[in-house]
Structure 1
């Protein structure tokens, strides 16, 4: 004999938050995954010093996002855009830091070229590098002043309404909900865990990949640093 399944209000509420959690994860991945200086640092640390170093580099960028989250929550982040010249100072500082870290990546590439990667050592500064770069990255600040503020404000976004083949209210994301924010940082956590693991796996198969990744990291950092300085000028 079949019995009908009845869900109580608590169960229905928990089930309705699944799209919100998934939406948060996708937002987090969308912020963390695109190529840029942060992922260049993560890739360099992972290729030269292993998964742990790459993970901690990603954790540095994630910690900066947590700081911006708190500032946006308190409404302090708007000071950056309202203070004359402050954004230009941040862009200049970020550009100079990227050029300096690009120089360090070039040195690392020369060090590991032809060396035994299993014996590669040295203190990892990936956490500090990514953390400082993220704090001086105006694009990361802009994210929290625009999309980030939208994530914090209570409301409802019907994602399915933008997809003709899906019915309305099929995928409703609740902004400003703790589940959305937990999913957001969970998505970043997935990236900073999986991306270093992918780099390390590729490095173990292609021994010559580590210096190439270091050179690529230097190129990305140097190129972005020059663009930042040109923008500041």
Structure 2
């Protein structure tokens, strides 16, 4: 395997982790599902968010994703719906926190996949990623990897430049997301096995995160619509 291919794969992994790892509504859902229902439920929730990324990938590949950029009202409506859904799902997280505190059975049917999926489809950060970095990954050319990563930015510009539009870059990207949605729940479950009180804390924190992002998205979406 050539050095350029290895760099492309590693760059893709970096992009995938950069999209999946930051704290936000999707990771709140994954965390809640993991500590309340176990590793499999957490991975399934992560798969919901990843499925949305696959849809964005197909839309970007077909050139349809630019419609969102050309129609601000459409983006505003999507973000507003996302904010309302986050507030609704926050109620589920509160209920999970209460049930874990009281020792009630919370191992019922999981809706983590559906929740993460619809939130990802209406997440402006995810949409923005695919309209910028995502589209850049698909177009043949080059991309400066580190200049797009959080906290590093311009300070590391030019250090890692890879070819875009390659299968290796895209494989690495979705591989990075897969690493996160399987590894993050595993860490949470392993920690929860050592700290019995973690489940209600994580569920409560997930509710707070969802409420915060819910109001943020509503403010953004309604402002765009008005």
Q: Report if TM-score (shorter chain) is over 0.5.
A: yes
Q: Distance in 1 between matches of 2:216 and 2:193?
A: 34
Structure 1 residue 156: deviation in Å?
A: 2.5
| TM-score normalised to structure 1 length | 0.87
Contact 2:137 2:143 in 1 (8 A): no
Secondary structure of the 1:174 match is: strand
Q: Deviations over 1:176-215 (max 9, x none)?
A: 1000000000000000010000000111111110000000
Q: Deviations over 1:41-97 (max 9, x none)?
A: 000000000000000100100000000000000000111122251111111100000
Superposed, which structure 2 residues align to 1:72-111 within 5 Å?
A: 72-111=60-99
Identify, as 1 or 2, the structure richer in helix. 2
Structure 1 residue 229: deviation in Å?
A: 1.0
| Worse overlay, 184-193 or 149-158 | 149-158
Aligned to 2:111: 125
Q: Distance in 2 between matches of 1:155 and 1:139?
A: 24
Q: Which runs of 4+ in 1 moved over 3 A?
A: 157-164
**Aligned residues, how many?**
216
Superposed, which structure 2 residues align to 1:35-74 within 5 Å?
A: 35-74=23-62
Greater radius of gyration (CA): 1
| 2:26 is equivalent to residue 19 of structure 1 | no
| TM-score normalised to structure 2 length | 0.89
Q: Distance in 2 between matches of 1:160 and 1:188?
A: 18
Secondary structure of the 2:107 match is: coil
Pair 1:109–1:182, CA change in 2 (3 A)? same
| 2:208 is equivalent to residue 222 of structure 1 | no
Q: Distance in 1 between matches of 2:146 and 2:179?
A: 25
Pair 1:126–1:28, CA change in 2 (3 A)? same
Which blocks of at least 5 consecutive residues in structure 1 are unaligned?
A: 1-10
| 2:162 is equivalent to residue 176 of structure 1 | no
